[in-house]
Each structure stands twice: as C-alpha cells, then as structure tokens.
Amino acid sequence: MSQQEFRLVGKYNGPRITGAKAAAGAIKYGWDFNLPNQLYMRILRSPYAHAKVTAVDASAALAMKGVHGVLTPFDFKDSPVRLAGTTMMILPYDKVRYAGEEVCAVVADDPYIAEEALSKIKVTYEPLPYVLDVEEAIKPDAPQLHEGGNIVRTPTTVTYKVGDTAKGFAEAELTVEFKLKSQTIQHNNIGTYAALVSWEKDGRLHMWTDAQYMHGPRNTLATVLGIPQSRICVHAELCGGGFGDKSGAQRCHILAAIFATKTGRPVKFKLTREDNLLQGLHRWTCVTYFKFGLKKDGTVTAFEAKNYSNAGAYYSVWGSGMATEQLYIYKWPNFLVDCYDVYTNTPRTGPLRCVADPQSCWMIETAMDRLAFQLNMDPIAFRLKNNMFTQGDKDPVTGNRIPSIGQPQCINRAKELAEWDKKWKPWPKTKPTSGVVRGIGVANHCCGHGAGSLANAAVLVMNPDGSLTIYTGATDIGNARREQLAIIAAEHLGLPFEKVTVANYSTDTGPDSGATVGSRQTKSAGNAVGVAALQVKDQLLARAADRLKVTKEELSVGEEKIFVTKDPSKSVTIRELVASAPWIIAAGQWIPPANTTQRTYGTHIAEVEVDCDTGLVKVLKVVAVHDVGRVIYRKSCLSQVHGGIIQGIGMALQEELLFDPQTGRPYNASMLDHKMPLSSQAPEIVVDFVETVEQPPDSYNHGAKGLGEPPTSPIVPAITNAIANAIGVYFDTLPVTPDKILKALGKV
C-alpha cells in the first residue's frame, strides 16, 4: 500500500491520550498508589565493594516502635533466584559484590521510621579485595566475583566472523590500531523503582508499579512465592521512564512481595535517587581494541575487534558485549569480532536504550571517522565508499534475510538536510588554541528491532456499538503504545481512531506480549494486533456477505461500514453487524518469520561549537534521519528522536557513574554529579524519516519498524566526530569533558 492509501497510518496526529494529564501531574505512577494500613520499605546498601557478610544483628531495628520486619541475606541462604543473567540471590547471603548493593531490607509504619531502622541494623562484613576496572579484572590474579572466573560469555558476547581477516590484512595498504573505552551510565528515569504490593480481598497478590514488562515480574514473583501465576496481578498503567531499567522484577519488588506476604499488610516502596543509581541497571563500559586494514582509496579490507564489557557484579538476562548490529552497516569483506563479559565490583548492568548499541555505535562510527581522517577523506564519501548494506542484502554472519534496509537513503537525506557539502571542511592542520571553533560530524546507525521474543499477543473485542477494545500486555512506557496500536487496528477495520481503545494495563487484562524493550512493540505487538484485526475483519466480512448476499471478496471496509466495492450504496454498518451476540472476538499472536534479521537504520549529523579556552562543547544543530519502515504516529516518532538526541548528548559530553579506586565506593551517585543533560542543552533538531517497506511487505502493522532506541546512538559519534572535525583530535574515551579537550589542545 502506498502512503496515500492510508487513512490514519502516518496521518493521524492528534494529541497523546495521556499527554495533558501527565503534564498536569494527574497521572498515577508507581509511588502514587496507596492503601490503608500500608507499610513502607527501605533497603540498606553495602558500604563495601566486595565483602563476606558474616553476621547481621537486626535486633535493635526490630525493637523499634513501628518496625514490622527485617530481611537479611541469611533469610535467603537456600533460595537463589535468577534475577539476572547471573544467578543473583534475593539478598546476597554469601557476599556483597559492589558498594551500594542491597544487603538488608526493613518495613515500618512510615518511611522515616524505616530509614532510622536501617541505621540500627548491624551488619558484620569481612572485606575482600575488589576490582573495578575491566582490564584489571581479566588478569589471572584479580579478585574473583563468582565461581568460574571473571570472564564470561553471555548470550550476546560471542565471536562474529566473516571472511578471512589474515587475507584482508595482507591486502591492506595501511593498518590502523586503537583502543576505545565508553563509560558506565545509569538511566536516571524520572520515576525510580517504586511499587505498592498487597494481598487483596480476592485472595491474590496485586502489585501496582511502573514497568516495561508486567508478565515477567508476575512470573518471577510467582516462582519466589511458590504460587500460581494466575494468583498475581501486576498493574502498570503508565511508566515514569524505562529505557531498559524496568524490564524485569528487581530485588526491591521481590522483597516487597515477601514482606507483604509475611506481614499481611500492603507494602510500598520507592527507591531514593541514590539507591536507584546504584541498584538499577547500568549501560556498561566497553573496552575495545580495534585493528583495521585499508587501502589508500578508503576501502576497508579487514577489521578485527576484541571487546571487553564491564558486566558489573551481575549481568542482565540480555547479556552485555558489543552490539553486532553495527556490523550490518558496511559490507566489510573480512572481520572478526570477539566479545567477552567481565565481572567487576561495580553495579549490575543491563540495557540502556538498547543492549549494547550506543557503545558499539560510538566505537564503530568513531573508527570509521578516524579512518577517513587518516586518509583526509570526506567522512561521508568514505562511508559511501565502504559498501553500505542495501535492500536485498543478507545477514553476513547467519545468512538470514534482512527484510528492509534504508541506510543509503538515510545518509543521503541527512547529508542534504544538513547542507553537508557546504558546511564540511577538512580537519584543521594545526590544533586551535583559543577562541570558539565549529565542526560537523556524521554517524550511521543500525540496530535490531521488533522481535526478540515470541510473546507478541493481543485480544480484540468488538463492542455492541461498533467500537473496538484491544487487550494486550504490551505496556505503554511513554512510547505512545495506546495510540500506535489503535491506529494499526483502526486502519485495518475502517474505524475512526476514537472508536479504538487499548484497555487498561494489567496482567489480568492483556496477554503476555513480551517486554516493551528493544524497539519492538510497534512491530511485535503491532503485528499481533494486526493479526487479530484481520481475523475480526474476516468475521465482519462474512457477516456482511451474508446480509448483502455477496461474497466476502466483493466487499471493502471503510467509514465504519462494510460495502460492496463496486457499488458502495450497498452497505451495512459495522455496528449493525456486532450489535448482538455472538460477539466478534479475536486473539492474535505474531510469530517472527524464521531466518530473518530485523534491522532499522539511521544517520545523524551534528554541528558543534568547541570553546578552546574552556573546553566546553555546545551542540548547535542535529539532523536526524531514521528508516522506520513506516511512520504510524508522527508525533511519537518525533518525540522519540528528540528525546534520544538529548539523552545522547549526556553520553557524548558529560554523563558517567564513577567509582573510587581507593575505596571501591561511588562518589558521584547523585543527579547533580552524574550530570544527565538538561533541556537547556537541547540543540536545534531537524528530523526526517525514510520509509523502506519490508520485502515481502508485512501487512499486519502496515510496515512499521522500531524507533524507540535508535535515536540515542548515532548522536554520540556524530558529536564526537564533529568535535574532531573542529579541533583535529579524536578521543579514546567517553565522555568528552573539558579536561580531555584542553589537554588534547596542549593547554595543560
């Protein structure tokens, strides 16, 4: 279908359903739910980076008026629960593995009593040597965090090999080697982990929270409590920010459920900012050694990378490593990428707006720019020289089909919008030493999207008045899930947007549709809704055919009617067809096609200003072009890109969670010092979309690909490449702070 034929897809651009209420503070998030008689939970943090927990004396805390329970590691001696890729205890009975890790928890009548009780719990530690740095941790004599050593292979840390790199290096006219290192960042969601957990009158455990996934946490709680999954209901109406941090049950959720079970009272908690900075997941530090072989005309003949990812004390179920998606931009003939995860005494890691994509995108696109710099070639010309993937190309590692590839269109469109040919000037021959200089930088991007799980499910129910209700577990975490799914269904069924509603979110009201992660739900839940919508449509057509005495094939849908295509005056309204039982109800599940690799593409171009006296960088303008397959709801597509760019500024220029080698302790675990970007740093942003429909066309969701994560990645190398263009220096580490810039300019 061409864009013109859609009624709503890409065209409906009404306001976000929850937008005005959210802006007015009228929406309830995890912390906003209350029940009579509720208790408040607080969690005690470990002050040690690595220590045996030899004893806990909670008697003074328990003796306090208003304290109703304390849980210690010794309560969980025999109950390991897999909360992460690593088996992680509910509380670490054997030893704590990083400073800030949960050690004990307490519930009390109010949060102040709970906080005071924390200070009365006496934990005896036997400190152990610790290791914070990933390259220190791989040394044979490094302190060991888990049995089996510090180096692990996780689901995403593997070896990727194409061609023969030895042959490729033999063909090379020059080789370039460097090492790049990214940083550790926490999500800093506006809403920290928070929930209210209660055994209700229906004899079931209810949890009100904000989450990217309801069924996963429900299932974890059922396992821990030893009760059927059906006896738990998780409610997650809206989410105060997710970005990967809220994709599963954390220790805090489980502890609250245990307390609620033990005390018979509702238990409420909200992590403090510092707790969340340390007990949430973290985008991990990647250290990668690169070696490139290339010809003088700019052709890369071979590339090898050895990646060590700082998995922290525990890695998430998604694993760590270096995202391989970046290997799907250029058709390198020979490459070998070897990834290792390494445990260190730092917080646990997990996805932050993609599993490893921001780190990998920064590294690969920095590498590409460095090679262009080496040859003094226009960075876009250099990229175009290196055979970008185009429609029809296959996955080089697995041979899988890639249904749609829009990389060349993205870079060409971005180049045009940014007036690249007018603005790009070669790198300065001598480094500037004072004043303000400008630069422009480019970066491509590819990442997976859409699938990642077989759970993609929705139930559609036609109501007697001809409106439609969608029931799904695909939560709305700010990504306009409600609007997108409604548009997809309404488009199929000839209904106006207003007549399609997504039911409130809980595990009772929608089937498991997987987590809202991995830029997947417009594709995955969208396809599940599409599958069900086509079933609904088929039943409507059958009923209409019966009434109008024609065959289904002769009918069309539109304007809340089913009509004879050739003679639209012969019609029946949908309302008439569904006014009485039997109802039209359809369950849709989408199974991602086999041997297929879903990929989404993008290009960012950033213009920056570098102050050579202060080392401060200002991002002036960003052009962002993304291949989204199909725009469903433009408003949310734009806000994904705007948000991603601002978040990316943090990674490029200022954000980092830091641990002190002298003590193993965090020293900047606050919003002030972690330095997430502010709205005042937002640049001018120009956005455009490339629509490359998958081949063969995927008719269920009208061809949309994912966009949630992509916009936060290419902005990072676009900024650092622009800095390099301005001052002639590429940096090996992130973030690029003033101290690094002025040192590189020889001003130190």
Calpha distance 544→552 (Å, rounded):
8
Of 169-177, 227-235, 448-456, 660-668, the segment contacting other proteins by CB under 8 A is 660-668
Judged by CB under 8 A, does residue 393 bind other proteins? no
Q: Which residue has the tokens 């995927």?
A: 698
With contacts defined by CB under 8 A, name the span among 279-287, 477-485, 542-550, 667-675 that binds other proteins. Answer: 667-675
As measured in angstroms, the least distance from the Cβ of 729 to other proteins is 14
Nearer to other proteins, 466 or 650 (CB): 650
Active site residue 115: no
At a CB cut-off of 8 Å and minimum separation 6, what does 522 contact? 479, 484, 632, 701, 704, 705, 706, 707
307 or 654, CB closer to other proteins?
A: 654
Taking alpha carbons only, the member of 511, 473, 468 closest to residue 487 is 468
**Least gap, CB of 83 to other proteins (angstroms):** 25
Annotate 685-733 with DSSP letters as a single string.
Answer: EEEEEE----SS--TTTTT----SSGGGSTHHHHHHHHHHHHHS---SB
Is residue 274 a contact point for other proteins (CB under 8 A)?
yes
Cβ neighbours for 585, distance < 8 A, ≥ 6 positions apart: 459, 460, 461, 462
From 304, 325, 365, 709, the catalytic residue: 709
Size of the site for other proteins (CB under 8 A): 38
Closest distance of CB 255 from other proteins, Å? 20
76: number of CA atoms within 13 Å, CB side?
27
Q: HSE on the CB side for 658, CA within 13 Å?
A: 16
d(CA 462, CA 468): 5
Q: Cα(735)–Cα(738) distance, rounded to whole angstroms?
A: 10
Q: Which of 173, 454, 498, 667 binds other proteins (CB under 8 A)?
A: 667
Burial class of residue 618, CB neighbours in 10 A (0-12, 13-18, 19+):
middle
Q: Does 611 participate in binding other proteins (rule CB under 8 A)?
A: yes
Pick one of 677, 703, 710, 714: the residue that binds other proteins (CB under 8 A): 677
- Any contact of residue 742 with other proteins (CB under 8 A)? yes
| Candidate segments 158-166, 283-291, 336-344, 652-660, binder of other proteins by CB under 8 A | 652-660
Residue listed under structure tokens 């700082």: 310
Position among 251, 370, 481, 675 found at the interface with other proteins (CB under 8 A): 675
Residues 25-64 that bind other proteins (CB under 8 A): 47
Helix H or strand E segment including 356:
none
| Residue 123 tokens, joined | 């934990």
- Does 666 interact with other proteins (rule: CB under 8 A)? yes
Shortest Cβ 664–other proteins spacing (Å): 10
Name which of 2 and 680 has its Cβ closer to other proteins. 680
680 contacts other proteins (rule: CB under 8 A): yes
What's the number of CA atoms in the CB half-sphere (13 Å) around residue 281? Answer: 28
What lies within 8 Å, CB to CB, of 697 at 6+ separation is: 1, 703
Binding other proteins (rule: CB under 8 A), the pick from 615, 643, 644, 648 is 615
471 or 659: whose CB is closer to other proteins?
A: 659
Tokens for 53, please give them.
């927990």
Instruction: Tell me the per-residue interface mask from 117 to 136 with other proteins, x by CB under 8 A, - otherwise.
Output: --x-----------------
Query: What is the x/- site pattern for other proteins, positions 98-117, by CB under 8 A?
Result: -x------------x--xx-
Piece in contact with other proteins (CB under 8 A), picked from 135-143, 190-198, 610-618, 693-701: 610-618
CB of 663 to other proteins, least distance (A): 7
User: What is the closest distance, in whole angstroms, from the C-beta atom of residue 622 to other proteins in the complex?
Assistant: 17
DSSP-assigned letters across all residues of 244-293: TTTSS--HHHHHHHHHHHHHSS-EEEE--HHHHHHHS-EEPPEEEEEEEE
Nearby residues of 287 by Cβ (< 8 Å), 6 or more positions away: 134, 135, 179, 180, 181, 307, 308, 309, 310
Q: Could you tell me the smallest distance in angstroms from the CB atom of residue 675 to other proteins?
A: 6
**Binding characters for other proteins, 451-480, by CB under 8 A (x = yes):** ------------------------------
Q: Which residues are designated catalytic?
A: 709
| Residues engaged in binding other proteins (CB under 8 A) | 47, 99, 112, 115-116, 119, 274, 611, 613-616, 654, 658, 660-663, 665-669, 672-673, 675, 677-678, 680-681, 737-739, 741-743, 747-748
